[in-house]
Chain A
Amino acid sequence: MTFIIRFFLTAAAFLAAALPAAAQEAAMSLDEKVNAAFAGATGWFVNFIFMSIPGTNFPWIVMWLVIGASVFTLYFVFVQFRFFGHAIALVKGDYSDPNDAGEVSHFQALATALSGTVGLGNIAGVAVAVGIGGPGATFWMILAGLLGMASKFTECTLGVKYRNEYPDGTVSGGPMYYIQKGFNELGLPGGKILAVLFSIFCILGAFGGGNMFQANQAHAAITGITGEYPGLITGVIFAAVVFAVIVGGVKSIARVTEKIVPFMGILYVGAALIVLLVNFNLIGWAFGQIFAGAFTGLGVAGGMVGALIQGFKRAAFSNEAGVGSAAIAHSAVKTKEPITEGFVSLLEPLIDTVVICTMTALVITISGQLIIDPATGNYVLNEAGSAIATVGDTSGVGLTAAAFGSAISWFPYVLALAVVLFAFSTMISWSYYGLKAWTYLFGEGKTTELVFKVIFCLFIVIGAAASLGPVIDFSDAAIFAMAVVNIFCLYFLMSVVRKELNSYAARLKSGEIKRFHH
């Protein structure tokens, strides 16, 4: 707890010092200052999370996520494939009791969780993965997405099972609740400590990947069209709008965004399909690059392992399987069977990673933005040797925009709008996740909630002003730190989920679980 308080005090002092200086100093140098201070303040944390396994260059955290997802896949005997059809039926409402109409439906819980995950990870994150790890990273990303479905299933089932239902009819759920209550129920010690630890990381994750990364990439997308201007300006505007929604309660903005975002998602996939159809003769070649690159690296930095690490990292960052955030979003659903929400949630990594991320990766690969040495067929590295050289020296969201722009000249404008909206909706979602962790630590109440919301908005400004490197590192580190605690606890709690699964499967077979619509 002292750690977190110290962290916020440092951040607040840092902002208090940095903001008035804005008036006196040239904006670029301020951006640089923010950047340096930020990198300095978070470096140790990032280094710890991404420490390599001794003797290799493989970060232990990536191994941790993949092992977790594989264990859940095996423990629940490939639940993601066995119950895939049932998950679709649940989302369609086939098993929804008409008397529960008006409550949160499976579809709504899924859509809400998806609007928190579908976003920049799918557009900018994939570009980072493919830019550094080459097209081969896509293969590992898809594999991680498929395995991650089992992690989601486990955490979301627990999220609903152990949520808090308050007398006024509102609900709060998420890993902090299932860790504490689940450990108590099983008679295991340390539940409360682990729940507190998770909450701290969740708050940091909300500030990092759920906030600064979004603000940063939204700024990058806007400057890609308007030309350079200080990130501080984007940050302040974003912070003001988010403030209006989460503090001012201007629901109309959130409501409009929630309605536009799904269409933006469909538009994005549609545009990707158009690019792929236009270049349909290259699709086979692109998949060839993906498979060849997955096992040889095709000359990218770090070779095959580099591709694998990037693929796994960006998949986890994009679909958040094992991170625990989705369990917070899914816990509001109305169901008598917690396991049904687990089934529904396993569709999330599929839509997010296996479908949308793969689209982005294919478009980037096909677009020819990644420079290939015609003599060897391998990719050419940039001057620093850290990533593949690209046509316009772009990276992140800029690379995705260039890739789409090479086929549909006006699409970068639509993409910039999509990025801004995705960033905004992800921020709104994460402000809720962070808030739930915050109120778990400090109690529910108007003042404590306001403190969190104000700090959240300040971080938007920092995120937009800092450059991509330190922000992406810190965002990844914070989100993965959540997964460290969450997956550790899921190992202890997965027996609870298996009991639910076995009981449900038996009742589904016997016809006790009724189908209401056909």
Chain B
Amino acid sequence: MKLVIGLDGQSSGEKALEFAKSLAASMETCELVVVYVIEWSPFSFQTAEENAQRHKRREEEISIAMERVVNPAVASLTDAGLSARAIVRHGDVADTIDDIAHSEGAGQIIVARSSAGGFSKRIFGSSTANLVMNARVPVTVVS
């Protein structure tokens, strides 16, 4: 079975990761896909200069996300003897996690409950709710 873990770069993500670990350990074969979504909309407005530098910025955003959030998570999973890989993508958080889970044929999505405070609340507060309501794959919200 394939599990998709949605991370938000906050400590609550650790709980989702731990839960996924224990779930995967109880299965015979399990593949883990760690997903981090950079909030982005194709319908925002930008200046010409921002457009000209967009490709460069995107690469930077992806490498920062890889370095700080996703790679450590994948490392901790593989250290535990599990098979895991990473996907970082731009887009709407809930839609993108659902799209990835659907196209990967995942059996379950695991996300953390929105953690208190600033950024993660903004991103995951509503996104978790959106995901739970609209996902085409069963969702587990870890609190």
| Contact B43–A105 (Cβ < 8 Å) | yes
Interface size class of B (residues with CB under 8 A): 20 to 34
30 contacts between A and B (CB under 8 A): A98-B91, A101-B96, A102-B58, A102-B61, A102-B62, A102-B89, A102-B91, A103-B58, A105-B43, A111-B45, A112-B47, A112-B48, A112-B51, A168-B56, A169-B59, A170-B56, A171-B52, A171-B55, A254-B47, A259-B45, A261-B45, A332-B48, A332-B51, A332-B54, A428-B47, A428-B48, A429-B47, A429-B48, A432-B47, A432-B52
How far is B54's CA from A115's CA once the two chains are assembled, in angstroms?
18
How far is B54's CA from A333's CA once the two chains are assembled, in angstroms?
9
Query: What is the 8 Å Cβ interface bit string for chain A, positions 309-332, against chain B (1 contact, 0 not)?
Result: 000000000000000000011001
| Residues on the B chain within 8 Å of A109, using CB | 51
Shortest Cβ gap from A439 to chain B (Å): 11
| Contact A258–B42 (Cβ < 8 Å) | no
Residue in A closest to B58 when the chains form the complex, CB atoms: A102
Shortest Cβ gap from B18 to chain A (Å): 29
**Interface residues in A395-419 (C-beta closer than 8 Å to B):** none
* Contact of B29 with A by CB under 8 A: no
Shortest Cβ gap from B11 to chain A (Å): 26
Q: A98-B99, A102-B89 in contact; A169/B55 too (CB < 8 A)?
A: yes
| Residues on the A chain within 8 Å of B54, using CB | 102-104, 332, 334
* Contact of A475 with B by CB under 8 A: no
| Contact A96–B42 (Cβ < 8 Å) | yes
Interface size on A, residues (CB 8 A): 37
- Additional 19 contacts, C-beta under 8 A, given A255-B47, A432-B48, A432-B52: A93-B42, A101-B40, A101-B42, A102-B61, A104-B51, A104-B54, A106-B42, A107-B42, A107-B43, A108-B46, A112-B47, A112-B48, A168-B56, A169-B53, A169-B55, A333-B51, A428-B47, A428-B48, A432-B49
Q: A116-B48, A432-B49 in contact; A334/B55 too (CB < 8 A)?
A: yes
* Contact of B38 with A by CB under 8 A: yes
How far is B89's CA from A259's CA once the two chains are assembled, in angstroms?
24
* Contact of A172 with B by CB under 8 A: yes
**Interface residues in A100-135 (C-beta closer than 8 Å to B):** 101-109, 111-112, 115-116
| Residues on the A chain within 8 Å of B52, using CB | 170-172, 332, 432
| Residues on the B chain within 8 Å of A112, using CB | 45-48, 51
| Residues on the A chain within 8 Å of B59, using CB | 169
How far is B46's CA from A104's CA once the two chains are assembled, in angstroms?
9
Shortest Cβ gap from A341 to chain B (Å): 12
How far is B62's CA from A483's CA once the two chains are assembled, in angstroms?
40
How far is B43's CA from A286's CA once the two chains are assembled, in angstroms?
36
Residue in A closest to B53 when the chains form the complex, CB atoms: A170
Residue in A closest to B59 when the chains form the complex, CB atoms: A169
| Residues on the B chain within 8 Å of A329, using CB | 48, 51
Residue in A closest to B103 when the chains form the complex, CB atoms: A98
* Contact of B90 with A by CB under 8 A: yes
| Residues on the A chain within 8 Å of B61, using CB | 102
Shortest Cβ gap from B106 to chain A (Å): 16
Task: Please give the residue numbers on chain B whose beta carbons come within 8 Å of chain A beta carbons, in ascending order.
Answer: 38, 40, 42-49, 51-56, 58-59, 61-62, 89-91, 96, 99
| Contact B48–A108 (Cβ < 8 Å) | no
| Residues on the B chain within 8 Å of A106, using CB | 42
* Contact of A262 with B by CB under 8 A: yes
| Contact A258–B47 (Cβ < 8 Å) | yes
How far is B48's CA from A432's CA once the two chains are assembled, in angstroms?
7
How far is B14's CA from A50's CA once the two chains are assembled, in angstroms?
69
B55's contact among A115, A170, A328, by CB below 8 Å, is which? A170
How far is B55's CA from A258's CA once the two chains are assembled, in angstroms?
19
| Residues on the B chain within 8 Å of A172, using CB | 52
| Residues on the A chain within 8 Å of B43, using CB | 105, 107-108
Query: What is the 8 Å Cβ interface bit string for chain A, positions 214-243, against chain B (1 contact, 0 not)?
Result: 000000000000000000000000000000
| Contact B56–A169 (Cβ < 8 Å) | yes
| Contact A108–B56 (Cβ < 8 Å) | no
Query: What is the 8 Å Cβ interface bit string for chain A, positions 88-103, against chain B (1 contact, 0 not)?
Result: 0000010010110111
| Contact A102–B90 (Cβ < 8 Å) | yes
How far is B61's CA from A259's CA once the two chains are assembled, in angstroms?
22
* Cβ-closest 3 pairs across A and B: A102-B90, A169-B56, A105-B42
| Residues on the B chain within 8 Å of A171, using CB | 52, 55
| Contact B45–A102 (Cβ < 8 Å) | no
Shortest Cβ gap from B38 to chain A (Å): 7
| Residues on the B chain within 8 Å of A255, using CB | 47
**Interface residues in A111-162 (C-beta closer than 8 Å to B):** 111-112, 115-116
How far is B55's CA from A170's CA once the two chains are assembled, in angstroms?
7
Shortest Cβ gap from B55 to chain A (Å): 4
Residue in A closest to B88 when the chains form the complex, CB atoms: A102
| Residues on the A chain within 8 Å of B58, using CB | 102-103
How far is B54's CA from A106's CA once the two chains are assembled, in angstroms?
13
| Residues on the A chain within 8 Å of B51, using CB | 104, 108-109, 112, 329, 332-333
How far is B45's CA from A102's CA once the two chains are assembled, in angstroms?
13
Q: Among A101, A105, A109, A168, find the residue whose CB has the most chain B CB atoms closer than 10 A.
A: A101
B91's contact among A101, A107, A428, A432, by CB below 8 Å, is which? A101
Shortest Cβ gap from A110 to chain B (Å): 10
How far is B91's CA from A433's CA once the two chains are assembled, in angstroms?
29
| Contact A108–B90 (Cβ < 8 Å) | no
| Residues on the B chain within 8 Å of A98, using CB | 89, 91, 99
| Residues on the B chain within 8 Å of A433, using CB | 48
| Residues on the B chain within 8 Å of A258, using CB | 45-47
Residue in B closest to A245 when the chains form the complex, CB atoms: B47
| Residues on the B chain within 8 Å of A429, using CB | 47-48
How far is B46's CA from A187's CA once the two chains are assembled, in angstroms?
37
How far is B61's CA from A262's CA once the two chains are assembled, in angstroms?
27
Shortest Cβ gap from A162 to chain B (Å): 15
How far is B60's CA from A169's CA once the two chains are assembled, in angstroms?
10
How far is B46's CA from A170's CA once the two chains are assembled, in angstroms?
15
B38's contact among A102, A107, A328, A332, by CB below 8 Å, is which? A102
